[in-house]
Amino acid sequence: MTGKAYLVGSGPGAPGLLTLRAREVIDAADVVLFDQLPGEEILASLPAGAELIDCGKYGSSHTLEQREIEDLMVARVKEGKTVVRLKGGDPFLFGRGGEEVEVLREHGIPVEVVPGITSAIAVPECVGIPVTHRRYASQVTFITGHEDPTKPESALDWEVLARLKGTLVILMGVKNLPMIAPALIANGKDPATPVAIIERGMRPDQRVTTGTLATIVDRARAAGVRPPAVIVIGGVVELYEGFAE
Ligand code: SAH
C-alpha cells in the first residue's frame, strides 16, 4: 500500500497567505518535510502528531542534501504515509519542486502540487511595488541570482537581461549582487535604474533598502543586507514610498 505525496507552497511567510488547500493537506499529513523559508509562524502551526523533518536552515549549509530529501519522501510514501513537502512561496518557482515531482513520478508515486503565492510577486507587492504597471513595465522577468554572472558557464544571458524594458525580479541574489549590478550596467542597462531589496518580506523584521543600479551594492553592504531577500530592478521601484536613489 503506497501513500501519497503533496508538494505544497507555503506562500511568502504570512499565515494568512497559506491557501485553504495547503492548510487542509498539511493538517492531514503523517509526515512534513520543511525548511526555514515558510517562516516561524507557519512552521509553528505544523501538526504536532506528524513526523516533522527539518531539511535544513535556509541560506546555510543544508542539513539534508536534495538527494536525501527525495529518498526520504519516496521511502515514507512507500510505507503508506501521506507526505507533505512544504516549500516557501510557490513550489515550482526556483524551489526544486519540479525535480522532486520528477523523482516521485519515476517511483510511480501519486503526487499533488498545491500552488502557493510566490514571494517574487507578493514580497514587492506588500511594500507597494507592483511588478507590472502600465506606466513603467509591461513585462516582468524572474531570475535566479544563484549564479555568478562573471562565470562563463552561467545559464543566464546578462546581455539579453540588460536589454529588457520591464521589471527584473531576482531571487537568491544577495550574495551575487556585487557581480549582478555591474554585469547589468556593463551590458548597457541605465545605472540610474531604481532598485529595491526587500529582506524577510512579510515577517516582523522585514526591511527595505533602495538605491540605483549604480549605488545599490554599496547601500546593501552598508545596511548589511542578508538573505532571504527579493531584489526588484526597474521603474516600478519608484512607487515604493520610501524610495531613495
Ligand atoms: N519558491 C519560492 C522561492 C524559492 S528560492 C517562492 O516562490 O517564493 C528562495 C528565495 O525566495 C530567497 O532567496 C528569496 O529571494 C526569496 N524569498 C522567499 N520568501 C521570501 C521572503 N519572505 N522575503 C524575502 N525573500 C523571500
Question: What pLDDT does residue 115 have?
Answer: 98
Helix residue ranges, H only, 47-132: 66-78, 97-106, 119-125
User: Quick one: average pLDDT of 166-170?
Assistant: 98
Q: Whose CA is nearest to atom 15 of ligand 1?
A: 171
Give this prediction's pTM.
Answer: 0.95
At 63 the pLDDT is 72
Dump pLDDT digits (tens) for 100-133.
999 999 999 999 999 999 999 999 999 999 999 9
Active site residues: 35, 57, 172
Q: Which atom of ligand 1 is nearest to the CA of 206?
A: 23
Give the residue-averaged pLDDT of 164-182: 97
Q: How many Å lie between the centroid of ligand 1 and the Cα of residue 2?
A: 32
Contacts of residue 196, defined as CB under 8 A and 6 or more positions apart, other chains included, come to 124, 127, 129, 208, 209, 210, 231, 232, 237, 240, 243
Size (the chain), residues: 245
**Cα dist from 205 to 43, 83, 219, whole Å:** 17, 31, 18
Render pLDDT for 18-68 as a digit per residue (tens, 0 to 9). Answer: 999 999 999 999 999 998 899 999 999 999 999 999 998 654 555 788 889
Q: Is 176 in the pocket of ligand 1 (CB under 6 A)?
A: no
Candidate from 230, 231, 232, 233 with most ligand 1 atoms within 8 A of CB, to mutate? 230
Give the separation between CA 162 and CA 75, rounded to whole angstroms: 45
Enumerate the β-bridge partners of residue 229.
199
At 236, the pLDDT band (50, 70, 90 cuts) reads very high
In whole numbers, what is the pLDDT of the chain averaged over residues? 94
Atom of ligand 1 lying closest to residue 231 CA: 15
Instruction: Identify the pLDDT of residue 2.
Output: 79
Q: Which three cell numbers stand for residue 225?
A: 543586507
Domains, the chain, in order of start with CATH, read 4-114 (3.40.1010.10), 119-239 (3.30.950.10)
Rounded Cα gap, residues 162 and 183, in angstroms: 8
Q: What angle do CA 234, 239, 245 make, to 5 degrees?
A: 65
What cell does 1 get? 500500500
Pocket test for ligand 1, best of 37, 125, 147 (most atoms within 8 A of CB): 37
Predicted confidence band of residue 147 (pLDDT cuts 50, 70, 90): confident
Q: Which residues of 217-233 are buried (b: 16+ CB within 10 A; e: fewer)?
A: bebbeeeebebbbbbbb
The atom number, within ligand 1, closest to the CA of 39 reads: 22
CB of 210 shorter than 6 A to ligand 1: no
What is the mean predicted confidence (pLDDT) over 162-182? 97
Tell me the torsion sign for CA atoms 206, 209, 156, 117.
positive
Using a 10 angstrom Cβ sphere, with 0-12 exposed, 13-18 middle and 19 or more buried, the burial of residue 66 is: middle
- Are 25 and 4 in contact by the 8 Å Cβ rule? The answer is no
Q: Are 9 and 91 in contact (CB under 8 A)?
A: yes
Q: Which set of grid coordinates corresponds to residue 133?
A: 504597471
